[in-house]
Structure 1
């Protein structure tokens, strides 16, 4: 049985959207879905309750604690860890599970990204035009809202120390030949609707990469000028987007420096605009 663990902190606006797509074509009992409402002050648990899922609650607003609780309750493998604010179809869950269940298959898998960008401001569209072309972004499991593992992969990520960038840490825990991006699976990611919310995401990302570099032997993923030049060399039309990306990166790095100096790796700068 495929298990799906969904940590959800104040996700009443979007948890139903995820569960609708995930369960729409699923046979009764095909998926073991565990929603862990953690530290919620809204109706997340109530919204999830009518679906064919198990809902756990904890007063502790912690994604790591929610994942631990969900893991302990989950019944099967392959196992998916899914962010509550994305959209994922029944077919995509099946595709991920099929790859992981294959003999001699990978330890971990993730879906292709589909970014919602149609009505976003130019700066946001420009930023993601570059971000999605970065080699480590294209190959990594992070930033997709879903990480799927078999039992061996689960043991690997459960051994990781706590980290704000839990999906990046999980991605880096697997070598390229131990993980795969499944072309037959897609996750719809809601990008920020405002530049201010984009900055919140990027400050959080830079802070969390710094935490990984300071608390583990694994180097985080950073983008350099060589990466941007390589993208523009291949697609000259993106020179303006590359300049916008660099500007956002510089501003986010400056803002993240304050949290890094203070050793603040717990403040979660949340993008609320993508949940509207």
Structure 2
């Protein structure tokens, strides 16, 4: 049985739709769904319990502690770590799970699988849309496990770590555990990440992600965490498509401001949806 683990902090507005998708369609096989409601002050717990899924309440806000609490209740494999605002239906979860079984001719068993991703910028400002137009070209997305809101891990893959560390960048942590030969990227399963609306929100969330990535890299004595890439890919993108020049300028400006905020601004560590903003 596949287990889906969802850390949810004040997700009353979205958790119902996410759970409804998981509980309908697909095959007759059931899913084990565990919602770890952490530090919630809204109706997240009530909405989740109406769907007859298992709910674990964690007093303090924090995604790592929430996932670890859910893990202590989990019994099935593979395990799918799903963000509360990412709506994948049961058939998509089953496809992720099935992909972890070796196909004929495979030399090794895959340990982790992720969906393709698209960013919904329909409600975003012009500047945010321009940022994401360039962000979609970031080379790390070709092989990385982050920024998709869903990661499926086999039982053998889950044995790679004892529990989630107290870091913000949980998906970058998972990315550090597997090499490219152990991962499957599925084109036929797509997670839709809803972008933030304003440039101010984009900078705030990007700064938080950059702090989280820096935190994880600082603790990486083994040198296994994916490092940030340089800017050559930006230059190559503009050369290939000069029409990207203005969007690239917006991307660079947002990134510089976010980096300054991450380094010197007053940050906060509470749970916050990332809006698809991952800067490896």
Unaligned stretches of 5+ in structure 2?
none
Q: Provide the secondary structure at the position in 1 that maps to 2:57.
A: strand
> Equivalent residue for 1:200?
204
Cα offsets for 1:224-260 (capped at 9, x unmatched): 221201122222221211111100010001111125x
Correspondence 1:225 to 2:225: no
> Equivalent residue for 1:187?
191
1:234-253 matches, cutoff 5 A = 234-253=240-259
> Equivalent residue for 1:63?
63
How many Å apart are 1:3 and its aligned residue?
0.5
1:1-276 matches, cutoff 5 A = 1-26=1-26, 30-102=30-102, 104-158=108-162, 161-216=165-220, 217-258=223-264, 267-268=269-270, 270=272
Cα offsets for 1:144-190 (capped at 9, x unmatched): 11111001111224356432111111112211111121112111111
Contact 1:37–1:66 (8 Å) recurs in 2: yes
Q: Which has the higher helix share?
A: 1
Contact 2:8–2:37 (8 Å) recurs in 1: yes
With normalisation by structure 2, the TM-score equals: 0.89
How many Å apart are 1:272 and its aligned residue?
9.4
Between the aligned partners of 2:275 and 2:115, the Cα distance in structure 1 is 23
Between the aligned partners of 1:224 and 1:143, the Cα distance in structure 2 is 19
Contact 1:87–1:189 (8 Å) recurs in 2: no
